[in-house]
Every structure is written in C-alpha cells, then in structure tokens.
C-alpha cells in the first residue's frame, strides 16, 4: 500500500477490513501476550480487536546487534513491539540521514522488552522521526502492518494523545520533558471524575495511582471535617487525603506506568513532593496548637 494512496481521514470500523493472520503456536502466543501485556497501546481493546491484533502481529527475529530496524526519514510501514533485546533510538536534528552515511545523529533513548516504536510515522503519515538500531544479539520484535495499526490501534492512541498533550504541556512537572515523552505519558493516562465533596484519596490508604488534577479544584485535609491545609488546582499532582472542592476531573497513572514513565522526572518530584509539603503543613499545625 502506498502512503499517498491511503486516506488521511480516520477509517470507520464498518468498512470492509480483513487484517492479515499469521498463524502462531501456543508458545508464540504466550510470548506475544507477555510482550504486549504492559504496553498501554494495547489496553482498552475489545475482545475482537484484541484477537485481530494478536493474529496480525508477526514475529520478526533480529539475530544481530547493530541491525537498523527503522531509518529516520523513511516512509513508515510497520509498528513494532519489543519482546526481547534492547534498541537504541537516534535522532538527527536535520530530519533524515543519508543512505550509507553515518549521520544518525544523537542517541536519545534506549528501549527494551514491552516497549514499542514506529507509531509516529503511521499515525501522522510522516517520515520516520528516528533511527532504531538493535544493540543486543537474538532480539525479537513483533511487527504490525500500517493498515491494521491505523484501523485498530490508532484511534485510541491518538485520542488519548490529543486529549492529554495540551494539558501535560501546562503541568510544570513535565515542562522539562520533550513532547514525545509527554505523548508516552498521555498513552498511559486514564480519566476519573469526582463530584464536590467526594474523597479522592483517603489518608493512610495505599496510594496506587498518581493523580494529576485535570479540571476543578481539590482540598487536602489532615483530618476529615477539619479545615483544609492545602488546595490543589489544575496541573497539580497529589497524594494525601484529598477531597474534591468542586466537580473534579483527574488524570491518573497506575503504579506500573508511574514507575516506568516518570523515571525522568523522579528527581523533580522528590524535590517538591506534596507529601513533604503536607508534612511541613503538619508541623505548622502542631506549632499552632
Ligand atoms: P516513527 O514511526 O517516527 C521512529 O519511527 C520511532 O522512534 C518513532 O516512530 C517513535 O516510536 C520512536 N522522538 C521521536 N521518536 C521516538 C523517540 C523520540 N523515541 C522513540 N521514538 N524522542 C525525542 C527525541 C528528541 C526520544 C524521547 C525519549
């Protein structure tokens, strides 16, 4: 399929579409399921979509380290999920590299099992944004063709990215990240809504989620029923006992995504940990009494 011949308009699921089916034995299916299990792009697929995607993913062994899987500037054909091995990501700020020349640019990331790449060119009909090289021998990738990616995986992904990118850009915690890193966080976010007075987190509960206040305001209480010690507004993130002081929309990350994706900002978070702020407030409160 040539890129230009393909419509940019989002496809409707009612259109005739038969994804390719690559037969797999049970051992392969097991490995594949493990590889995609922690990847946010595969969450929220319904049963039919899930089985179509599982069938259309094709095992692609990469025996040698140093194999170039994607070349910046090329037309996008496949999306890949890593089952085994590590891959370096290079970006040449000039936008593309000359064939044969050593102009890959700077190494910007390394990816490992469970992670995926190659979605950008397929989503935006754009040239490949980076060069991807295997750095370990005996790597295994699973590839998904562009049509199946666009028909099944893309809708969800682009919806989430659109919904959260503008918001994440405004969150001070994330301003030091490059846009692509914010896109990855957007992939992992889910939304929850609370009504005024609802308890979002109760003090002492085990906090499994990381919440970002997307809309509305919320108050922090040391004791329920007492005066709030802190208020949160749009863009704040939190722990502690938090009660919605208006209708609130939060974006939240599960523990898994939090650990994986917020590595780059962990230091900033430690510096202005809301729990530290809260402890400070507690000390103040104690001095008062
Ligand atoms: P693609 O289809 O453009 C290259 O082919 C892939 O590399 C791209 O999709 C992404 O899946 C993946 N910037 C752009 N693409 C990246 C980046 C990246 N990291 C991985 N890919 N970074 C920003 C560099 C300024 C790295 C952010 C950590």
Which of 106, 98, 132, 137 minimizes the C-alpha distance to 117?
Answer: 132
Query: How many whole angstroms separate alpha carbon 229 and alpha carbon 218?
Result: 11
| Closest ligand 1 atom to Cα of 108 | 26
Enter the ipTM: 0.98
Query: How many whole angstroms separate alpha carbon 156 and alpha carbon 40?
Result: 10
**Cβ(94)–Cβ(101) below 8 Å:** no
Whose C-alpha lies nearest to ligand 1, atom 9? 118
If you write DSSP's letter for every residue of 90-149 in order, what string do you get? Answer: EE-TTS---TTSS---EEEEEE-TT-EE-HHHHHHT---SSEEEE-SSSEEEEEEEHHHI
CATH C-level class of 189-288: mainly beta
pLDDT computed for residue 3 by the predictor: 47
Joined together, the tokens standing for residue 196 give 């005024």
Q: Where in the chain is the domain with CATH 2.60.120.10?
A: 26-153, 189-288
- Name residues whose C-beta falls within 8 Å of residue 100's C-beta, 6 or more positions apart in sequence: none
Q: Which of 88, 108, 119 to mutate to test the pocket of ligand 1 (most atoms within 8 A of CB)?
A: 108
Joined together, the tokens standing for residue 1 give 């399929």
| Closest ligand 1 atom to Cα of 76 | 2
Ligand 1 centroid to 74 CA: how many Å?
13
Whose C-alpha lies nearest to ligand 1, atom 7? 130
**Is CATH 3.30.70.260 correct for 26-153?**
no
| Closest ligand 1 atom to Cα of 91 | 24
**Residues near ligand 1 (Cβ within 6 A):** 70, 76, 89, 91, 108-109, 117-121, 128-130, 132, 178, 180-181
pLDDT computed for residue 116 by the predictor: 97
Joined together, the tokens standing for residue 48 give 């039919």
Ligand 1 centroid to 91 CA: how many Å?
8
Whose C-alpha lies nearest to ligand 1, atom 6? 118
| Closest ligand 1 atom to Cα of 126 | 3
CA angle 42, 162, 265 (to 5 degrees): 80
Tens digit of pLDDT at every position of the chain (289 positions): 444 444 455 555 556 789 999 999 999 999 999 999 989 999 889 999 999 999 999 999 999 999 999 999 999 999 999 999 999 999 998 876 665 555 889 999 999 999 999 999 999 999 999 999 999 999 999 999 999 999 999 988 898 899 899 889 988 888 888 899 999 999 989 889 999 999 888 776 766 678 889 999 999 887 778 888 889 899 888 765 677 888 888 888 877 777 777 776 666 666 555 555 555 555 555 554 4
Tell me if 128 is assigned to a ligand binding site.
Answer: yes
Angle between helical axes of 179-188 and 154-170 (0-180°, round to 10): 120
Say how many C-beta atoms besides its own lie within 10 A of residue 284's C-beta: 10
Query: How many whole angstroms separate alpha carbon 43 and alpha carbon 40?
Result: 5
Side-chain half-sphere of 219: how many Cα atoms within 13 Å?
A: 15
pLDDT computed for residue 17 by the predictor: 85
What is the tally of helices (H) and strands (E) in the chain? 9, 16
pLDDT computed for residue 272 by the predictor: 57
pLDDT computed for residue 152 by the predictor: 94
pLDDT computed for residue 2 by the predictor: 43
| Closest ligand 1 atom to Cα of 111 | 20
Whose C-alpha lies nearest to ligand 1, atom 18? 180
Whose C-alpha lies nearest to ligand 1, atom 24? 108
């Amino acid at each position: 399929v040539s890129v230009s011949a393909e419509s940019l308009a989002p496809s409707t699921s009612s259109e005739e579409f038969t994804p390719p089916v690559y037969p797999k034995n049970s051992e392969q299916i097991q490995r594949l399921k493990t590889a995609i299990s922690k990847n946010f792009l595969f969450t929220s697929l319904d049963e039919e979509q899930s089985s179509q995607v599982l069938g259309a993913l094709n095992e692609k062994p990469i025996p040698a380290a140093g194999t170039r899987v994607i070349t910046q500037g090329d037309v996008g054909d496949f999306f890949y999920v890593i089952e085994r091995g590590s891959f370096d990501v290079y970006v040449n700020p000039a936008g593309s590299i000359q064939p044969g020349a050593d102009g890959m640019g700077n190494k910007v990331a390394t990816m490992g099992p469970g992670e995926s790449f190659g979605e950008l060119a397929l989503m935006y009909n754009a040239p490949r944004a980076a060069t991807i090289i295997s750095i370990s021998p005996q790597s295994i990738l699973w590839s998904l063709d562009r049509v199946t990616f666009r028909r099944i995986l893309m809708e969800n992904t682009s919806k989430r990215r659109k919904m959260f990118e503008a918001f994440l850009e405004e969150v001070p915690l994330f301003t030091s990240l490059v846009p692509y890193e914010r896109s990855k966080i957007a992939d992992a976010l889910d939304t929850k809504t609370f009504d005024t007075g609802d308890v979002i987190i109760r003090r002492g509960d085990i906090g499994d989620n990381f919440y970002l206040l997307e809309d509305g305001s919320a108050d922090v209480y040391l004791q329920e029923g007492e005066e709030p010690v802190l208020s949160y507004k749009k863009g704040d993130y939190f722990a502690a006992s938090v009660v919605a002081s208006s209708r609130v929309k939060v974006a939240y990350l599960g523990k898994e995504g939090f650990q994986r994706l917020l590595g780059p900002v962990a230091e900033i978070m430690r510096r202005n940990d809301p729990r530290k702020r809260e402890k400070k407030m507690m000390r103040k409160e104690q001095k008062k009494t």
